[in-house]
Amino acid sequence: MAGGVVGVLMHRFAPFPTGDPGAYALVGMGTLFAGIIRAPMTSVFMIFELTQDYQVLVPLMVANMISYLISRRYQPVPLYRALLEQDYVHMPLPGTRQTTDLWRARDVMTREFTLVSPDSSIQLASAIVAETNAQSLPVGNNGACLGLVTRDQIERALKSGAANDVIGTIVTDNCAHVHPDHPFDLVLDRLAKNPGLLPVLSRNQMNHVEGVITPQSVVQFLQREFEAPTGSGQ
């Protein structure tokens, strides 16, 4: 609409060097699309398919690139990425694609963990937490994870006199998890949402725990990665 208004005004005051008002409307439409969707070349192809006019390509490409740069300057997060993040769907950024291709959850996880039975007492879970100095414990049976229980939950249960209750009464079953092939950036995002421990579940066996990821395992993995080139060069 704005492009059409500009075209009408240009025709009124300078009719000879200007294009058809409809061309301004189409360029304005393409510019709006390029700025919102962040797809300037898609906009060019769409407008060309509508007009079949080569003369509109150059002004459209110039307007699209200006719109694209302004959009990136004032709104760094694209529209569709923002909508995906609202649904907790996180796509890798262009700058992290190389890391994502190299580092997976299976590389970061540790297989040294204690899977506490939901029938175990809260007192027993407290002893395991004290021995391992863990912030959270995975709870499950026969290798299948049912949820997590945190150190704070255990301490609150002990203070309330529920030391002999089973751990299954305080387990949190809606915790985040990853699969072994999930990328490193998604691992970090989901670990931040969990209370200090992220289960790594098998894709082939329902809820089967292949390992866990903790802040300590992430730090140890990064240390190994950054020390590896130096060690191999000696």
Model pLDDT for residues 1-19, shown as the tens digit of each residue: 444 454 555 556 555 555 6
Counting the structural domains of the chain, the total is 2
Q: For residue 213, what pLDDT is reported?
A: 94
Average pLDDT, the chain: 81
- 85 domain residue, yes or no: no
For residue 42, the enclosing domain spans 2-79
118 occurs within a structural domain: yes
- Residue-wise pLDDT tens digits, 136-164: 899 998 889 999 999 899 999 999 998 89
End-to-end CA distance of the chain: 67
Q: CA 37, CA 181: separation in Å to the nearest integer?
A: 30
CA nearest to 39, candidates 4, 72, 1: 72
Q: Are 73 and 189 contained in the same domain?
A: no
Q: Residue holding tokens 């730090």?
A: 219
Span 63-73, average pLDDT:
86
pLDDT over 70 (residue 37): yes
Task: For residues 165-192, give the mean pLDDT.
Answer: 89
Q: Is residue 84 part of a domain?
A: no
- Exposure letters 7-20 (e unless 16+ CB within 10 A, then b): beeeeeeeeeebbe
- Does the pTM of the predicted model rise above 0.75? no
Tens-place pLDDT, residues 95-129: 545 544 578 999 999 998 889 999 999 999 999 98
Q: Does 34 score more than 90 pLDDT?
A: no
- Rounded average pLDDT over 81-107: 67
Percent of the chain past pLDDT 90, that is, above it, reads 26
Q: Which of 30, 107, 109, 93 is nearest to 67 (CA)?
A: 30
Helices 79-86 and 21-37, interaxial angle, to 10°? 40
CB 116 within 8 A of CB 149: yes
Residue 223 and residue 162 share a domain: yes
Query: Does residue 163 sit in the same domain as residue 59?
Result: no
Q: What average pLDDT does this structure show over 57-75?
A: 84
pLDDT at 119: 92
Look at residues 79, 114, 131 and tell me which one is the last residue of a structural domain. 79
Task: Give the domain-ending residue among 79, 112, 141.
Answer: 79
Residues 101 and 211 in one domain: yes
Do 223 and 189 lie in one domain? The reply is: yes
- The letter for the amino acid at 18 is T
* 111 and 44 part of one domain: no
| Gap between the Cα atoms of 76 and 194, Å rounded | 27
d(CA 208, CA 202): 5
